[in-house]
Structure 1
């Protein structure tokens, strides 16, 4: 009697598994659902409207290696506006129209809501003057453009296939290095990745540019005055006193 009951239990258990087995064989499995999926008709998810800049002694980037041990970094701060934040959307749309980021027929899909970030204007030019004597060739007041190498990141190659960056990144922007005297091509959509979020729309200290010098200084420390001009007419100026020959 116990044997008959045990066999019946096994048989019923097998029948209870049969629909699941048949279903798994006859039905195409559902595709995996991504952990996050942010869709927008615009290429950029955030646009930064700059208010201030400051300079700091920067890390040594391999692309900038020249006659100094460290570089000069240009940091920008301001208010950033996100497409996915309803209260910020009107301002975002205003800035998107300004920079020419038009809605696409097919949505852009991103893993995070702040994956593509740019400035509300392109970089027109950057100039550096020696406030104090830099070396025997560049005295106080001299324009240092002939010995300034500029490094920056931008999304320009995503809009114009003729523009080729030094290399592409996982975040989607490309890196560019301009030798002394070369124009800042590919700086219409600069990347403002890795800033610091503050209250409301505040976004600060994002590295916009890094500058390396191709000649060594003979005076220590050195004082520089940098002027940044944007394509919408904004002009920012900042000073820095530093010793670029020290780590």
Structure 2
């Protein structure tokens, strides 16, 4: 409880909080973490997950790419958990500047957050590579083989694949938010994915907080380190 009191005190003192989150934020919504013991990196496939979700796989073995993508990245039944909801409340109270997320599930917006920087895109958006027509997640879920638009083009998920660069506009927005923050909460991420995790070095504010079940590279530099589940911790904070 001392950790929660310390976190509450920091939240009370700050008015420009930025939340930087990873897969651990969504595990409490039933979406597996790639790098956890039960995650995709510990399951057996013909190719490792980073190869299955690469631009090369999309280009060279397109049908296999979509089979894997549908089976392992789409969780339409997932709903926002306590972490997503608390962050939306903090934003509504005017205390949270932005959410910077490595997740692609859209749960922050579903909970009510408005200023969200999705570093790796979103499974909720899909676009024809030929005509640009946009499609929702249901189109991908209900398709088989390689999904095609009415014009004949492939409908590609708006997700950053391995070997692809991050959206520069989203990167700039995330950097500006982190640079302006007086408090940065890093949660549910091992900070192992670059260049996304490098964004935290733009923070120069008052309080750095890390909430994660396992060790991260920023634990020693944090003003407060809480080992635990993100939703369980944030649910105890008053907005």
TM-score, length-normalised on structure 2?
Answer: 0.24
Structure number with greater Rg is 1
TM-score, length-normalised on structure 1?
Answer: 0.24
User: Which is helix-richer, 1 or 2?
Assistant: 2
